[in-house]
Amino acid sequence: MANPTAAMLVIGDEILSGRTRDANMHHLAGQLTEAGIDLKEVRVVSDDRDAIIAATRALSKAYTHVFTSGGIGPTHDDITADCIAAAFDAPIDIRDDARALLQAHYDRQGTTLNAARLRMARIPDGAALIDNPVSVAPGFRIENVYVMAGVPSVFQAMVASVLPTLKGGAPLVSTSTRIERGEGDIAGPLTDLAARFSDLSFGSYPYIKNGVFGSNIVIRGADKSTVDTATRALIAVFADAVK
């Protein structure tokens, strides 16, 4: 059976402006690969209500799981929770269990749970909370959408909370072979190999090192023996150029 599929929705003007480098996609992709869930699409949208709602609805319909990052903090531009609620036509308000988590956390710190911080307790009706062992303010799941923080340490902790609850498929295995030939030289034989091993994925990633053109050929698949067989075939075809 095919693996479950996933998409990621990265939310935030700071990502699109180049001010912040997104690390969460890289982390999520690795974790999903290990779990046997195929990440098929990543979208980045600005802090725009209509864009977030439209992307959420489209991705939710297209994939088994959707993971969002960003926009669930205490400031005015943290609009993700409201937009996700709107995408599913769900009311949203401060929820008692989320408020209790925040109240206990700020009491321990000797800090006031003010109106801004209470924004992080606004949860859509019917959503389940996602644990946040780093800074307490929870994420949430509604239908097949998992709404998580943008701060990498918090995002990673939330992913760790969510993944054990998901049913995965066969984790992908891969090999990487360095071939010191340009892509124009290897394209034909590589196309033939990809057709021969049609159940595998062949990726060519070119480089230039000390003026020498080459490519790293990555072969991916769910069955290790098939990946190994294809890798041996690749090496046989380009025996004089494998490094």
CA 241 to CA 239: how far, in whole Å?
A: 6
Long-range contacts: 234-240, Cβ < 8 Å, 24+?
234/177, 234/190, 234/193, 235/177, 237/189, 237/193, 238/179, 238/181, 238/186, 238/189
CA 103 to CA 125: how far, in whole Å?
A: 20
Q: What digits encode the pLDDT tens for the residues 5-40?
A: 999 999 999 999 999 999 999 999 999 999 999 999
The whole-number pLDDT of residue 237 equals 95
The whole-number pLDDT of residue 222 equals 85
Domains of the chain: 5-165 (3.40.980.10), 173-237 (3.30.70)
Per-residue pLDDT at 1 exceeds 80: no
The whole-number pLDDT of residue 243 equals 85
Element containing residue 89 per DSSP (H, E) = none
CA 107 to CA 126: how far, in whole Å?
A: 27
Q: What digits encode the pLDDT tens for the residues 216-239?
A: 999 999 899 999 999 999 999 999
The whole-number pLDDT of residue 170 equals 83
The whole-number pLDDT of residue 94 equals 97
Q: What digits encode the pLDDT tens for the residues 141-164?
A: 999 999 999 999 999 999 999 999
Per-residue pLDDT at 213 exceeds 80: yes
Q: What digits encode the pLDDT tens for the residues 64-101?
A: 999 999 999 999 999 999 999 999 999 999 999 999 99
